[in-house]
Amino acid sequence: MSGSVLCDVLLKFYRSKHLLSEQQQRTEDFKSLIADYDALLADIEKDPNFAKRVAPATLGAEPNDEGTIYPRATVQQLQATRKILMEESNRNSDEPAVPQWLTRCSTPRRRIVLFVAGAVLILISFVCFGPSSQKNLTGR
């Protein structure tokens, strides 16, 4: 009976819980990015040539060092990497926001049935297991 009455509250709770976990994951991702950028800035401050070495790769420009060979990523490697990254991000979102039993119970018809069934069970428990109204006939 309480499940049918509190169904809306439970729906809001599970949705809020799911949104909170998503936001916490995003916050962790941002913290990781900030740490990476802080490390990169520290490396740039330590070594002035570091920016010259990293800039072509970051900006997508062709490096101009004649004595150095730079590896190139093939299209297949990039697609495989993208697929792995997408699978990892989808793995976290596979968890449903609301349990399936709650979505089934949240329809109005089923909520009414749950409420009536709960009320009937309460009446049965009062009738069958309530205090007896018979007086003791022995006189004591």
Q: Is residue 73 part of a domain?
A: yes
- Whether residue 139 is contained in a domain is answered as no
pLDDT per residue rounded down to tens, the chain (140 residues): 787 888 889 999 999 999 999 899 889 989 998 998 898 888 888 887 887 777 766 776 666 667 777 667 777 888 888 888 877 766 656 667 888 888 888 888 998 999 999 999 999 998 888 777 666 556 55
Give the count of domains, the chain.
Answer: 1
Contacts within 8 Å (CB) and 24+ apart, 100-107: 102/7, 102/10, 102/11, 102/14, 105/3, 105/4, 105/7, 106/7, 106/8, 106/11
Is there a domain that residue 101 lies in? Answer: yes
Assess if residue 7 is contained within a domain: yes
Q: Is 130 helix (H, G, I), strand (E, B) or coil?
A: coil
Residue 137 lies in a domain: no
The answer to whether position 29 is within a domain reads yes
What is the separation of C-alpha 115 from the centre of its chain, rounded to a whole number of angstroms? 31
Enclosing domain of residue 35? 2-129
